[in-house]
């Protein structure tokens, strides 16, 4: 498991808000963590680049509010690049699907589902009520 070593912080969540990268251990009490930082993005790219199977569930930051989508868009391009080289990439969740679309990489990914919780439950082998109700129960 890889945890962020740095992050992008701001005092408020608004488009164009002043922001800065700080080590994850140096987040101030009045800072809002709104994206991964550049060192973390680089570390994530390195791991993604060597992956053969990726399940992406959840954005890296508040990608809907510029400039706090840089990390998420970077991850989207990284997973699309490895998918182009033959990796299996599954995106699960409405926010991640929206981020992939915003990055313009949806068509390059193996599968994109807006059902994040349902996708994870399915992968965990749990019964999905909607699918179960379609089963023949004779």
With a cut of 80, say whether residue 137 has pLDDT above it: no
The predicted-structure confidence for 13-58, as pLDDT tens digits, reads as follows 999 999 999 999 999 999 999 999 999 999 999 999 999 999 999 9
CB 11 within 8 A of CB 18: yes
Rounded CA separation 98/43 (Å): 23
Domains along the sequence of the chain with CATH: 6-126 (3.40.50.1260)
Closest to 43 measured CA to CA, from 84, 95, 105, 1: 1
| Interior/surface letters 44-63, b for 16+ CB within 10 angstroms, e for the rest | bbeebeeeeebbbbebbbbb
pTM of the predicted model, to two decimals? 0.87
At 2-12, the pLDDT tens digits run: 899 999 999 99
Please classify residue 32 by burial: count the beta carbons closer than 10 Å to its beta carbon, then call 0-12 exposed, 13-18 middle and 19+ buried.
middle
């Amino acid at each position: 498991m890889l945890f962020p070593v740095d992050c992008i912080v701001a005092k408020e969540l608004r488009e164009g808000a002043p922001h800065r990268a700080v080590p994850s251990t140096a987040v101030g009490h009045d800072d809002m963590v709104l994206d991964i930082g550049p060192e973390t993005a680089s570390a994530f790219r390195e791991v993604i680049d060597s992956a053969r199977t990726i399940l992406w569930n959840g954005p890296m930051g508040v990608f809907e509010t510029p400039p706090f989508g840089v990390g998420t868009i970077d991850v989207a391009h990284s997973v699309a690049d490895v998918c182009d080289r033959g990796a299996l990439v599954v995106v699960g969740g409405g926010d991640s699907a929206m981020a992939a679309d915003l990055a313009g990489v949806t068509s390059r990914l193996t599968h994109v589902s807006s059902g994040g919780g349902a996708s994870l439950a399915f992968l965990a082998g749990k019964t999905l009520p909607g699918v179960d109700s379609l089963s023949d129960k004779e």
